Amino acid sequence: MPDWTYHPLSGPAAALLGERRSRHAALHALAVLTGLPGGRRLVTGVFGHPPVPGVGAVVPPHLAEDARRALPPLGASVVRVGPPEPHEVVLHDPSTAAATALLADRGTTVLASPALLLEAGPGWFQRVAEATTPTTAPPPVRDLPRNPLRWPAWCWGALVGLGMLVAGTGAAAITLGPVLLWYDRSFLGMTLDDLHAVNHNLVHFLQHDRVTMAGTMVAIGFLYTGLSAGGIRHGWPWARTALLVSGAIGFPTLFFFLSYGFLEPLHILATAVLVPMFVVATRRAPRSPRWTALPDGPEAVRRRALVGQLLMIVTGVGLFVGAVVVTATGLSAVFVPSDLGYLVTDADALSAVNPRLVPFVAHDRAGFGGALMAAAAAIALLALWGWRRGDSWVWWTLALAAAAGFVPALVVHGVIGYTDFWHLAPVYVGVVLTAVALVLSRPYLCARDEVSAKSTG
């Protein structure tokens, strides 16, 4: 299991199974997973790291079978049972600095002791790998080539993020202003006054859907800008993967609208502009490591940050599940009971007035669900792979995305009087989990390099 479950959940697991049994169960479960078809690749790609040359572990004989299957996908290149070889050093200090110092001698293999792994967690291999990877600083932004054709991939990803920020802000301005544009009125064959005449809450209902959608678009903009300028620019391959997965989910949702026969010209234009830049940004993984691995800080700070990481991953997964439900609702029933309670009507009554009213609402719902799935995937993957000491861009990216996504949703519901508790309960839970996660992780993610801080202070 990864550090973000190992440390936060070790206490409850020990209370339930006993400390020794819970640890053995975790190792055995990981060993079983790696033995399944595709399991090793899953563990390596999602939770682990390719084996780190010169880094391994020494394990007791009774754990040898499970350890030989479970530890290599996490980064152990050697799993030793019994006394170490002459060129192998058993390390008891969990700090990455201790491992880095020993690995400076290329002939030395560092073996983590059982006590070290119990204290540091299975993510120790990955932290050592990142700390010992030769890196260079990314070139300053001012040194970018004047020719856009020579820009690095992260620039195009950042432009996609900025484009989403502009599109989301524009969508919010339209929703808070005219509400309907010419193509909306053409599709419906109705004006804003006509909608008011049909149902006094209908326009407000449309606004609440579209403001929430606009906030989600802005959140995606912050996420894509952060993943590009903070992640891909610093050579993290996982940042490109997160951007690719999120965009691959979000951009194809344009096809949801085909089922309603209503294609928005501005939506098509934005997609046509952003998709080519997205392709350029994600066509290949970054090859040059350009990150800075800070020294280990206080272990208590890291443990609290791991709790925050777990909560943020849970939030991202929960948002994704909610987005799937929203999308399915938009493509089928369209309304949930609380919607009909707010409108004091039903879908049949709206369809009787204008057969295109319900498809119009459904198209907004499906589009919002697709955008929320894209945002949720980016949040979950950024939290899964991006938790490193000193990477303040991760904290700010998630904080700004959360503010853009949650605040407009809560405000618009309050303004229009749609305050059904159970309808908003997922938003309340998301706000609490995100706030706690950000508070717990801020000292870790926003830590500064003490040496650099003193030299510039």
pLDDT at 455 over 60: no
- What pLDDT, on the 0 to 100 scale, is given for residue 346? 92
- What pLDDT, on the 0 to 100 scale, is given for residue 264? 83
Look at 132-146, 399-413, 430-444 and tell me which has the smallest mean pLDDT. Answer: 132-146
- What pLDDT, on the 0 to 100 scale, is given for residue 1? 64
C-alpha distances (whole Å) from 348 to each of 17, 155, 353 are: 55, 49, 9
Going by pLDDT thresholds of 50, 70 and 90, the confidence category of residue 331 is confident
Residue 239 lies inside a defined structural domain of this protein: yes
pLDDT digits (tens, 9 = 90+) for 199-247: 999 999 999 999 999 999 999 999 999 999 999 999 999 999 999 999 9
225: closest CA among 290, 155, 320, 280? 155
- What pLDDT, on the 0 to 100 scale, is given for residue 47? 73
State the burial class of residue 355 (Cβ atoms within 10 Å of its Cβ: 0-12, 13-18, 19+): exposed
Going by pLDDT thresholds of 50, 70 and 90, the confidence category of residue 453 is very low
Torsion sign, CA atoms 114, 130, 76, 6: positive
State the burial class of residue 325 (Cβ atoms within 10 Å of its Cβ: 0-12, 13-18, 19+): middle
Residue 143 lies inside a defined structural domain of this protein: no
User: Do 266 and 411 fall into the same domain?
Assistant: yes
Mean of the pLDDT values across residues 55-78? 91
Look at 41-45, 113-117, 199-203, 376-380 and tell me which has the smallest mean pLDDT. Answer: 41-45
Q: What is the mean pLDDT of the chain?
A: 91
Residue 135 lies inside a defined structural domain of this protein: no
User: Do 186 and 283 fall into the same domain?
Assistant: yes
Rounded Cα distance between 245 and 82, Å, is 43
- What pLDDT, on the 0 to 100 scale, is given for residue 454? 46
Mean of the pLDDT values across residues 275-301? 92
Residue 245 lies inside a defined structural domain of this protein: yes
- What pLDDT, on the 0 to 100 scale, is given for residue 142? 87
Residue 136 lies inside a defined structural domain of this protein: no
Hey, which of 9-23, 148-162, 437-451 has the most confident mean pLDDT? 148-162
Rounded Cα distance between 397 and 202, Å, is 34
**11: CB partners within 8 A, 6+ apart:** none
User: Do 14 and 64 fall into the same domain?
Assistant: yes
User: Do 341 and 443 fall into the same domain?
Assistant: yes
User: Do 113 and 161 fall into the same domain?
Assistant: no
27 HSE (CA, 13 A, CB side): 23
76: closest CA among 60, 59, 61? 59
Indicate the number of domains in the chain: 2
Q: What is the pTM of this model?
A: 0.94
pLDDT at 55 over 50: yes
User: Do 336 and 288 fall into the same domain?
Assistant: yes
User: Do 120 and 162 fall into the same domain?
Assistant: no
Residue 141 lies inside a defined structural domain of this protein: no
Q: Which domain holds residue 273?
A: 151-456
User: Do 222 and 103 fall into the same domain?
Assistant: no
Going by pLDDT thresholds of 50, 70 and 90, the confidence category of residue 382 is very high
User: Do 179 and 211 fall into the same domain?
Assistant: yes
Rounded Cα distance between 379 and 369, Å, is 15
| Domain stops at, among 98, 130, 162 | 130
User: Do 105 and 14 fall into the same domain?
Assistant: yes
- What pLDDT, on the 0 to 100 scale, is given for residue 392? 97
User: Do 54 and 186 fall into the same domain?
Assistant: no
State the burial class of residue 330 (Cβ atoms within 10 Å of its Cβ: 0-12, 13-18, 19+): buried
Residue 398 lies inside a defined structural domain of this protein: yes
Rounded Cα distance between 27 and 122, Å, is 10
**Residue 90 and residue 58 in contact, taking contact as beta carbons nearer than 8 Å:** yes
71: closest CA among 130, 105, 116? 116
- What pLDDT, on the 0 to 100 scale, is given for residue 40? 86
User: Do 120 and 157 fall into the same domain?
Assistant: no
Is the pLDDT higher at 64 or at 257?
Answer: 64
Residue 449 lies inside a defined structural domain of this protein: yes
